[in-house]
């Protein structure tokens, strides 16, 4: 076995942990029980490991990167999003970074569609009413929601997951798909993904959208991208779906938009400061609150581990990993 140290920061599905150990790439530390690493643990890890395999829930202190210089060679991230890693600092300190795209695309889009349906058709509210024994029976005016079939969905970010959402919305529900993305999407990709129409700006998409679904990466470039200006541009009574990153939404502006009725409901999987939600979220019955479940299916979470291991193996073999970020 190579004389190398590898840290997995959170518990993975057993199958993926077992493979990582069996690959004999180095001495593997699997942190159990599954708790977030403290700042002190991060700083202690900086000169202890050649490889760290982090996740989205890791809070990595800024001082970690210079402290890890010369020892840590690669952060093989378990997850597609890498906004929890300071990519510039990693690069500046000679640390490579990889991620795990593709394997979670379908599950994340499935979850986003589920949130859209729950928010539109008031399934969370209805479930709570029924469970509380407060259902007074079927009546024509009871718990009227928003029609999904044939409505227009606005998609922000037309990468893999945004495209998968477009296919579901158009193919499954006959929705018109409009989207915004910085790249000029070729016609064949638009045609193959929900006959989607690319519009010039987020506010133009908002103005057309009955549902606004976010699929852009997190990080500095998209911080509070969905702000008061975007909410004000929405059709009154639109519904927001966020399965991307919490920081993409200005949460104060979202609460204002819910209060004014500009936004009728929201389906959310991600938040600022997860898992410490702003307590205001709990006061709105028309928000569906999921605990960052986008990729949470049995096969997907194992596949993310396998993909992270594949990247690590390639890196350690001196090859360019398939999912090299930097």
Give the catalytic positions in this structure. 245, 274, 292
116 vs 238, beta carbon nearer ligand DGY: 116
Q: Which stretch binds ligand DGY (CB under 6 A): 58-66, 77-85, 122-130, 256-264?
A: 77-85
Which of 7, 75, 80, 238 forms a contact with ligand DGY (CB under 6 A)? 80
160: its two tokens: 């893999």
Q: Does 26 bind ligand DGY (CB under 6 A)?
A: no
User: What's the min distance (Å) between Cβ of 323 and ligand DGY?
Assistant: 11
295 vs 311, beta carbon nearer ligand DGY: 295
74 vs 175, beta carbon nearer ligand DGY: 74
**Integer Rg of the chain from CA:** 21
Give CA separation, 36 vs 18, 39, 83, 274, in Å.
21, 10, 17, 12
Q: Which stretch binds ligand DGY (CB under 6 A): 39-47, 73-81, 130-138, 226-234?
A: 73-81
Q: Does 216 bind ligand DGY (CB under 6 A)?
A: no
Q: Does 97 bind ligand DGY (CB under 6 A)?
A: no
Q: Which stretch binds ligand DGY (CB under 6 A): 12-20, 76-84, 137-145, 155-163?
A: 76-84
Which of 294, 307, 308, 312 forms a contact with ligand DGY (CB under 6 A)? 294
Of the candidates 246, 257, 170, the residue with the CA atom closest to the CA atom of residue 206:
257
52 vs 80, beta carbon nearer ligand DGY: 80
Q: Does 295 bind ligand DGY (CB under 6 A)?
A: yes
User: What's the min distance (Å) between Cβ of 81 and ligand DGY?
Assistant: 3
Q: Does 81 bind ligand DGY (CB under 6 A)?
A: yes
- Reduce the secondary structure of the chain to three states and give it as a string: CCCCEEEECCCCCHHHHHHHHHCCCCEEEECCCCCCCCHHHHHHHCCCCCEEECCCCCCCCCCHHHHHCCCCCEEECCCCCCCCCCHHHHHHCCCEEECCCCCCHHHHHHHHHHHHHHHHCCHHHHHHHHHCCCCCCCCCCCCCCCCCCCCEEEEECCCHHHHHHHHHHHHHHCCEEEEECCCCCCHHHHHHCCCCEECCCHHHHHHHCCEEEECCCCCHHHCCCECHHHHHHCCCCEEEEECCCHHHECHHHHHHHHHHCCEEEEEECCCCCCCCCCHHHHHCCCEEECCCCCCCCHHHHHHHHHHHHHHHHHHHCCCCCCCECC
Q: Does 225 bind ligand DGY (CB under 6 A)?
A: no
What is the C-alpha to C-alpha distance for residues 44 and 29, in angstroms, rounded to an integer? 14
Counting residues that bind ligand DGY (by CB under 6 A) gives 7
Q: Does 153 bind ligand DGY (CB under 6 A)?
A: no
User: What's the min distance (Å) between Cβ of 291 and ligand DGY?
Assistant: 12
Q: Does 8 bind ligand DGY (CB under 6 A)?
A: no
9 vs 295, beta carbon nearer ligand DGY: 295
Which of 46, 90, 95, 104 forms a contact with ligand DGY (CB under 6 A)? 104
57: its two tokens: 């829930």
Q: Residues 46-65 vs ligand DGY: string with x where CB under 6 A?
A: ----------x---------
Q: Which residues bind ligand DGY (CB under 6 A)?
A: 56, 79-81, 104, 294-295
């Amino acid at each position: 076995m190579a004389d190398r140290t590898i840290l997995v920061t959170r518990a993975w599905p057993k199958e993926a942990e077992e493979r990582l150990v069996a690959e004999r790439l180095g001495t593997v530390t699997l942190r159990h029980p599954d708790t977030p690493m403290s700042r002190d643990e991060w700083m202690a890890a900086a000169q202890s490991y050649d490889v760290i395999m982090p996740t989205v829930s890791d809070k990595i202190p800024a001082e970690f990167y210079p402290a890890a210089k010369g020892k840590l060679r690669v952060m093989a991230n378990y997850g597609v999003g890498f906004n929890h890693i300071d990519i510039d600092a990693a690069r500046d300190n000679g640390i490579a970074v990889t991620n795990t795209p593709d394997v979670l695309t379908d599950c994340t889009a499935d979850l986003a569609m589920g949130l859209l349906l729950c928010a539109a058709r008031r399934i969370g509210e209805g479930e709570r009413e029924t469970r509380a024994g407060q259902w007074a029976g079927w009546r024509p005016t009871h718990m009227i929601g928003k029609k999904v079939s044939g409505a227009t969905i606005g998609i922000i970010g037309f990468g893999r997951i945004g495209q998968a959402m477009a296919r579901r919305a158009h193919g499954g529900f006959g929705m018109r798909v409009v989207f915004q993305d910085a790249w000029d999407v070729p016609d064949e990709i638009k045609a193959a993904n929900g006959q989607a129409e690319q519009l010039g700006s987020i506010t133009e998409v908002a103005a057309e959208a009955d549902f606004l679904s976010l699929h852009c990466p997190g990080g500095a470039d998209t911080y509070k991208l969905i702000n008061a200006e975007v909410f004000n541009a929405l059709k009154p009574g639109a519904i927001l779906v966020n399965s991307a990153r919490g920081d993409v939404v200005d949460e104060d502006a979202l609460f204002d938009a819910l209060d004014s009725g500009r936004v009728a409901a929201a389906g959310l999987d991600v938040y600022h400061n997860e898992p410490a939600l702003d307590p205001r979220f709990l006061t709105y019955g028309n928000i569906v609150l999921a605990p960052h479940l986008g990729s949470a299916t049995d096969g997907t979470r194992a596949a993310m581990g396998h993909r992270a291991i594949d990247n690590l193996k390639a890196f350690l073999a001196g090859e360019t990993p398939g999912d090299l970020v930097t």
